[in-house]
Amino acid sequence: MILIKNCFYIHSPEAKEGGRGWDILIRGPQIQKIAPEITADEAGEGVHVIDGSRHVVVPGFVNTHHHFYQTLTRNVPAAQDAKLFDWLVYHYEVWKYVNEESVRVSTLLATGELLKTGCTATTDHHYLYPQGFEGDLMALQFESARQLGIRFSPSRGSMSLSKKDGGLPPDSVVQREEAILKDCERVIGQFHDAGDFSMSKVTLAPCSPFSVTPDLMKETVKLARANGVKLHTHLAETIDEEEYTLKHFNKRPLAVMDDWGFVGPDVYYAHGIHFTDEEVAHLAKTQTGVSHCPSSNMRLGSGIARVIEMRKAGVPLSIGVDGSASNDTSDYLGEMRNALLLQRVHYGSDAIGAREIFEMAAGGGAHILGMDRVGQLAAGWAADLAMFDVFRFDYAGALADPLAALLFAGHKHETDYTIVNGKVVVEKGELVGYDEQKLFREGHAAAERLLKLSSE
């Protein structure tokens, strides 16, 4: 049981005028009550009391696109200035050395950074299964995520179309389709929990139209729908991709996905930058979701997603940090700030406000990942929340609107407390489940190993 007392500001439909001085009571995995005064007696014996008087309390953010393993190849000089396809071709040669330790430590690094920047639930899109990789990749990921306590919905990704068959990746990182489908089925059976407040869900995610065959796409759709799990892939990220599908299928990317049945309310795409008006209408009609990744889009010069038009049309939208080789952080609050600013570059300063970004980040993400009663602070909803200390000099002068201050001001972007499923996972700014300096050393060593092997 946790009682958060005397909050400076609560972003909740139940807390009037920001709930200044209000309290939040958490029992088990849920929020029990948000009210002006809750006593420790009411909470009962053994309650953990947290002082919220310096904090803006927000629903935890839900990250809808990432590639954790890329945390080990951030900011690699040879790919710092490359466009997507060249960037990928370079990195495949490094990533083919990803081993079990790379997966374990990169999952800890990415989830740790997410938790510390306000994110309480995340997916991961791991599509890279190098030849010779031993061990159970998804089990390693679930174990690391459990250790730090994040709500986790990773995808079993895949690549099956290598260079010799007309795709982009080399042979060394693709798998045979039968093996992929068999493992997808196993992973759903072993890890997918569809229950209330599930901490562990599985998504199926062929990597992209240029690294997977049409057959695998179609078979994956069948398998996902037979098991009631979500589908995810990259789409409309670059003009190169558009040229690829026009050349190979004589259709634009979304039309190709339509042919494969890879659209619908159980599908969400990463990026979704280059959609036409008709395509935006089609996404809205089919309720296909989009994970907007502004930092990566800026980093790779991929373009500005049409978030404003998609919102207006009613397309389900969320925000993702994308893989750490194209961000190169998992700073979720920073991603929200970039989402706010990047739209304004194209559409003007009145196009989108801070509150709409908070909605995309929490409720929008939870909807897209199929997490019920996640993404809002209210009684009966999951106790997933982030507490940012705004009584700091970098917020001085910005507190006339404490919620928007988190995006417009501040430079630390780190929570003081993060709570997931009723458990404190960041306390006084530190991860609870792992030593951060040890994590740095392990991450640094794993990254050095990859670069060394790839340069030999």
Query: Closest separation between CB of residue 284 and Zn ion, Å?
Result: 23
Compare residues 238 and 343 and give the one whose CB is closer to Zn ion: 238
Compare residues 123 and 198 and give the one whose CB is closer to Zn ion: 123
End-to-end Cα spacing for the chain: 54
Q: Which of residues 102-131 bind Zn ion (CB under 5 A)?
A: none
Contact criterion met (CB below 8 Å) for 408 and 333: no
> What is the x/- site pattern for Zn ion, positions 246-285, by CB under 5 A?
------------------------x---------------
Query: Total number of residues binding Zn ion (CB under 5 A)?
Result: 2
Name the residue type at position 329: T
Alpha-carbon span 248 to 326, nearest angstrom: 27
Compare residues 55 and 125 and give the one whose CB is closer to Zn ion: 125
> What is the x/- site pattern for Zn ion, positions 139-178, by CB under 5 A?
----------------------------------------
Q: How do 125-126 and 119-122 pair as beta strands?
A: unpaired
**Which residue in 115, 272, 142, 129 sits closest to 202, CA to CA?**
142
Compare residues 332 and 417 and give the one whose CB is closer to Zn ion: 332
Name the residue type at position 363: G
Query: Closest separation between CB of residue 300 and Zn ion, Å?
Result: 10
Q: CA angle, corner 50, sides to 108 and 361, nearest 5? A: 50
Compare residues 84 and 404 and give the one whose CB is closer to Zn ion: 84
Q: Which of residues 287-346 bind Zn ion (CB under 5 A)?
A: 322
Edge-to-edge strand order for the sheet containing 317-319?
125-126, 155-158, 203-206, 230-235, 267-271, 289-292, 317-319
Query: Closest separation between CB of residue 277 and Zn ion, Å?
Result: 25
Query: Closest separation between CB of residue 125 and Zn ion, Å?
Result: 6
Query: Closest separation between CB of residue 302 and Zn ion, Å?
Result: 11
For the chain, helix, strand, coil in percent to 5 are 45, 20, 40
Query: Closest separation between CB of residue 322 and Zn ion, Å?
Result: 5
Compare residues 203 and 421 and give the one whose CB is closer to Zn ion: 203
Supply the angle between the helices 214-227 and 177-191 in degrees, to the nearest 10.
20
Q: How many CA atoms lie within 13 A of 245 on its CB side?
A: 21
Query: Closest separation between CB of residue 194 and Zn ion, Å?
Result: 25
Compare residues 322 and 416 and give the one whose CB is closer to Zn ion: 322
How many Cβ atoms sit within 10 Å of the Cβ of residue 182? 11
Could you list the residues that contact Zn ion (CB under 5 A)?
270, 322
